[in-house]
Each structure stands twice: as C-alpha cells, then as structure tokens.
Chains A and B, each alone.
Chain A
Amino acid sequence: MAVSWKRKDLLGLEELSKEEIELILETADSFREISLRPIKKVPTLRGKTVVLFFFEPSTRTRTSFELAAKRMSADLVNIQTNASSLLKGETLKDTAKNIEAMKVDIIVMRHSSSGAPHLLAKAVSPSIINAGDGSHEHPTQGLLDLFTIKEHKKRISGLNVSTIGDIMHSRVARSNIWGLTKLGANITVCGPATLIPPEIERLGVKITYDVKEAIEGADVINLLRIQLERQSQNLFPSLREYAMKFGLDSDKMKYAKKDVLIMHPGPINRGVEITPEVADGPYSVILEQVTNGIAVRMAVLYLVSGVKERKG
C-alpha cells in the first residue's frame, strides 16, 4: 500500500484522500474475519484505552464501537450524557481535558453539535474519532457504506447511488457524498425540497424531487431516516404524505434495477421511508451494513492508535 495513515483523528471524510479511504477499507477487510471466529479476540489494542463519549442516544453505533474495541482487547469506558446537562456545569472542553488527564488513547465521540469533535481534536491529545456530529459528518457510517457497496459491486467508481430522504439534517448523507464522490460514484439526492440543503449541487451531486427518477438506474439506493419532529417544523405535511411520495415500497421498486442494493443507516421507520417487505426483501443489505460496521471501526481504531505524533 502506497499510503500510510498519518492522522491523529478521524473527523470526517471530507479531508481524507481517496488513498486514505481505500487504506481504511482494505484494513477493514483484513479485520472482518475476526468477528467470524469462535474466539472473537485479538491482542492488537491491548493496553490502549478507548473512551466512548456519547452526548446523544445511540445503540447501534455505540455498540459497534464497543465491540470493535473489545474484540481488539482495548480497555473501554462508556460515558453517556446529554449535551444540555453538561452545558450547565462544565464545558465540553473541560470535560475532555479531564478525560485526557486520565491518560486515555482514543476518544470516540458523538455529539448533537456540528464541529464538536473538531473542538476537542484541537484541545486534547488523545485521538478523536467522530461518531457523528450534528448534521455534519458520520465518517465511520460513510466508510461502512462504502465497504458494503464495494463488497457487493466490487467497485465504487461509475456506480449510480441515490440517497433518498432528509438530506438537510443528515450527517450520513454528507459523509456518503464525500466518500462516494472521492471514489468516483455518481450521486443523486432526492427528498422533499424542504429537506434538500441549499447549494448541495456544489458538492457534485444531482438533485431530484422525483423519486422515480432517483430509483431508475440506481445501483444503490440509500434511504435516510425521517424524524417525526421535522413534521412539526412544517418541513413536510405528514408522515403519510412522505411515505406516499418518497417511501420505498414494492410498487416503486418496479422502477429499480434488478441488482439494486437497498441500504439504510438505521434505525428504520418501517412504513415511512421504507416498507417492511423492501427492508426485509432480497435487495436489502441493511443488516450486512451493521455487521461490516464492526470491521470498519476496528480498522479506524487500529489506524489512529498507531499514530505516534500527539499534539496537546
């Protein structure tokens, strides 16, 4: 491999080169088999301390990071809190400095404010892995999506990938756009006009409000979760209308290619953005994404843990 990993932190896919992304994917490929063994443990991160610092509820991502760290023998601490209770007392930076003082190696962080991990990356010496910041990025989700697509399609370049749903508030959409465009895929985003953020076409994606157009010719369809609270903000009239216009059901699947992959970062709202028969159907790789998430996170933990240079 021509490139080696030099980054202390993984904050997003925007700043990564194509080669760095490929390095992570190849490293993940070599780790995948560990989770298939009867004894699911290697000593790679023995003696390293990983802190999961989650300011938003998360089951999937937190468990995935936890298993990834444990299967590599790291010591692990879980801190789950919410941003508002923290704000009243200690600042985020002070909390992080306290964690740093306990000599940990890696902080995996999820936060409802875009840029929160970037603040910490500048302030403390442990590696920061972004496990989702506001509507900004969710790099490991983007990577596991790439990994899953590559596994099935054997390539990324030239594929047509459609992302349907709430693009505006989605960190998954942004990380996917960065990762997929760097690896040469063609991306279409689709959703209600109120949920497409301004000037997103400047990221090199096509916009359509016509779900049929997004489905036709797509090699991959990535559905995003629709949150009920968006309805109360008048971003769309009702979940019912959303499901009718944009939800992927067997009817709309008629327009899809025969070898389409259906993906979803979870958690799924069955009957809203996707119907059960599509989510559980033959084209769905939603649970494979979850499985692959562990390998990708093992790769990321491994790569950042090997970086000697620390700033403080």
Chain B
Amino acid sequence: MDILLKGGHIVDPINKVDSSSDILIKDEKIAKIGKSLKANSARIIDCDGKFVLPGLIDMHTHLRQPGREDEETFLTGSKAALKGGFASVLCMANTNPPVDNKGVVEYIYTESKRMGLINIYAVGAVTKNLEGKELTEIGQIFEAGARALSDDGKPIMNAQLLRCALEYAKMFDLPIISHCEDLNLSKDGVMNEGFISTKLGLRGIPRASEIVMVMRDIELAELTGGKVHIAHITTWQAVELIRQAKRKGIKVTCETCPHYFALTEEAVLGFDTNAKVNPPLRTKEDVEAIKKGLSDGTIDVIATDHAPHSEEEKDVEFDSAVFGMVGLETALSLSFAELIEKGPLNWKQLVEKMSVIPAKILGLNNKGSLGIGADADVVVFDPKTSWVVEIKKLESKSKNTPFIGKKLDGAVILAVVGGRIRYENGEFK
C-alpha cells in the first residue's frame, strides 16, 4: 500500500529540504514531495510536529551473527536498529567465523535477507582471521557485496600491510575502516588513563594509543590516495589531526559514537562494566572537542559501535569484562539531546552525519535522500515523546548499556524500509 506522510518537518539535506511538507511513498521509492499531497489509496499518517528523516545508516554495528547468536542476531539487531531509526546497518567483520572470505559475505546477505527487517551490509576483513598478517581476497569479498573493509576490534599494527590494503582496495573504491589503537601503548588497559584510572587503580589506555595511529593513518591516506575512514575517535588530539589533514586536502573521513559525546570517563566510577568500551570514554575536554569537530565538519559520521555482549561477559570483575556497549536504540535520542537540544548541530547536520555521509562513503547511491526516486527508507521522529532506557524494553538481545535508567527525549515512532512499514509505535511488522 502507498504511504502518505502528512505535515511532518522533512529534513533532506541532499535536496535542501528543511521544512514542513508531505511525502508520498509508492512501491519501494519516494514518489512525491510537496504541500497538500493527495493520494486515494494511500495509508495516510499524520506527522504534524514530527521530524521526517531519511532512514539512518549505521556504519559501525556488530550483529554477532554468525557465531554469537546468543548476543544478537540479524532479527534482534534489526529490531533494535528500527527502534533507533536505522534502516541500514553495516556489520563488522569480527564474527565467528570472521567475514574474511566470500562465503561468509554471501551468508550475511542470504541470512539477513531471510531474517532481517532492514538493509544489512557486510564489512569484509582486511586480513585473514583478523590477524593482521595476510590480506584477504579483497576482490572476491567486494564482488560478494561487501561495502567496506575493516579488522575492527583490532588495529592493523603493520603499517606496510595497511598500505598495501589501501592501495589494493582503491581498485574497488572500498573504504578501509581503521580501528586506531597502538596495542603496545594500550596493553592491559581497561579505561582512559588519567585521574579516574589513578583513583580506581585500573590500568589506563593513554590517548597516545589513539593519536599515534590516527597520525599514521593520515600519512597512509596521503601516501596511497586510498579511502581511509577512521572509526570511533575519542580524543581532542585526533579531532585536531583530522581537521588539519582535511585542510591539507588529504582524503580521510572519520566517525565518533554517541557515548563519546554523551559520557566521560566518570561513567566508570563505581566500576560500571557497561562503561567499559574500546576506545575508552575520555574527559570533558575531549567531549567538547568532539562536539566542535562534529559542528565544523571535521567529524563526518556518527556511528553506534553497537557491541552486544552477554551478561556473563559483562557482569564480572572490571578487568575481566569485555569491551563494548549496545547503541542502536539510544543513538538518535542521545544525539538529539546532546547535539541538537544543546546546540552544536542543527537537524540538517545531524541527518548528514547519520545518513547522508554514510551513504556516500559506502556507495549506497539511492539512500540518505528523500528525493523522488530514492529508496523509500524513511523514519519519523517525535521530539516530544520521552522514554526511559530499561532492560526489559530493549530490543537488542544484549542489555549492556550504561544508559539504563536514563530518561531520553525523543523517540522514533515510525520506520519505513524499502517502502514497507517495519516499525510503528512500538510494533514490528
């Protein structure tokens, strides 16, 4: 059935729309945009007072399938994504087995189409078994449909190997998403190195662990002309380095995650393992720099780094707990609260960072837009609905978030994927 979204505030940066309008979805595409649209057979949904956005695209998700279906699956991950406004996610390669060959890429597309409710795209590993030693068969991984390459979760410590990967991947225009961490500097670290780690007697991860690798990757981007996308940046120095690199015209993009602008290392006080994440939560100074970097365009993308983990991996001693937190369901509300309500970004910028630019980096040509003929991935966000993050209400199979108990403003009330309503007022379809 056709869908007519009436009277919502449409934010469509690509087509320079940032005002109230109607939008008609026909089949799988956006059919019309304009005032007072009429459609006889369409389902009409009143969006007055709501924001209508192109479906969000998460460039950094761990869906744990194959291998850890007890933590997340394509189905539960899809539900979490829809509730958070994401119509598309890019799932990282550190599954079990890892996505280091064509077969696993094909599995991801087949299974996610069977089970999933959203668009799920695969990342291929840069190196076999994510070991940082031998390149994967990048050409075949590309032909099977991978949209990017990454060993995320692990850095590629060998700069020469990364250089080769960047040069080789240029042939396919594939971005390499780089997890910047110097493993010698971060060894045994479990949180940001600083006053709080000193106080708690926990081993710190110095900022330098991120900074030196960001420096290296910028140099490799310049050397190779390859597409470097730096994952989850957290430090003010990394923001500054990328700002300078962009000024020099070096082709590099980067992302941060909501927890790096919504939280500081103080979230670890009391040894909350849900605040144990890699890279670690940093300081107020870094949060300010991240916000500045988002507003001046240095930081291109907001991604979630959604990292589901079971209770038995998290509800243990801080040193033994695994890194990571879930983020699909809270990302948009947190971004709305921290970035729009508090000022550094407007809606246009937020939609660019959560949909338009990810589509561009990943080469998803018909996405990130509400233009006529674009894929009908549309979400409706109600800024006036507030909700409390509760374990029993989370759709993700894993509940590892430090935001449990927090009241968030704004919620997704409708999500359309490929012209089909997949989520509406708490119900999945």
Contact = CB atoms under 8 A, between A and B. Distances in A.
B428 interface: no
A93 B316 contact: yes
A37 interface: no
Contacts, number: 69
B316 A134 contact: no
A197 B319 contact: no
A115 to B, nearest CB: 3
Interface in A179-223: 197-200, 202-203
Contacts of A87: 316, 320
B198 A113 contact: no
A151 B138 CA distance: 72
Interface in A90-137: 91-93, 111-116, 118-119, 133-137
B204 interface: yes
Interface stretch (B88-96, B189-197, B376-384): B189-197
Interface in B286-324: 312, 315-320
A135 B270 contact: no
B201 A199 contact: no
A115 B318 contact: yes
A184 B349 CA distance: 52
Nearest to A91: B316
A264 interface: no
Given A115-B271, A118-B271, A198-B195, A136 B201 contact: yes
Contacts of B204: 197-198
Contact of A113 (B193, B270, B315, B319): B319
B200 A91 contact: no
Contact of B317 (A83, A174, A197, A202): A83
Contact of A135 (B194, B202, B271): B202
Contacts of A202: 195, 198
Q: Is the interface of B mostly helix, strand, loop or mixed?
A: loop
A111 B204 CA distance: 19
A133 B203 CA distance: 13
Nearest to A136: B201
B195 A113 contact: no
Contacts of B270: 118
Contacts of A133: 201
Interface string A253-290: 00000000000000000000000000000000000000
A14 B196 CA distance: 13
Interface in B137-188: none
B193 A134 contact: no
A171 interface: yes
A290 B208 CA distance: 42
Contacts of B317: 83, 92, 111, 113, 115-116, 119
A278 to B, nearest CB: 28
Contacts of B406: none
B346 to A, nearest CB: 37
A174 B270 CA distance: 16
Interface residues of B, number: 20
Contacts of A134: 201-202, 319
A48 to B, nearest CB: 27
B271 A91 contact: no
A199 B202 contact: no
B320 A197 contact: no
Given A87-B320, A198-B204, A203 B199 contact: yes
Contacts of A118: 270-271
A114 B318 contact: yes
Interface of B: 193-195, 197-204, 270-271, 312, 315-320
Interface of A: 14, 83, 87, 91-93, 111-116, 118-119, 133-137, 171, 174, 197-200, 202-203
Given A83-B320, A91-B312, A93-B315, 8 more contacts: A92-B317, A114-B200, A114-B202, A119-B315, A134-B202, A199-B198, A202-B198, A203-B199
Please provide the 5 A-B residue pairs with the shortest distance between their CB atoms, ordered closest to farther: A115-B271, A136-B201, A135-B201, A113-B317, A199-B195
23 contacts: A14-B199, A92-B316, A93-B316, A112-B319, A113-B317, A113-B318, A113-B319, A114-B319, A119-B271, A119-B316, A134-B202, A135-B201, A135-B202, A136-B200, A137-B201, A171-B201, A197-B198, A197-B204, A198-B195, A198-B197, A198-B198, A200-B198, A203-B198
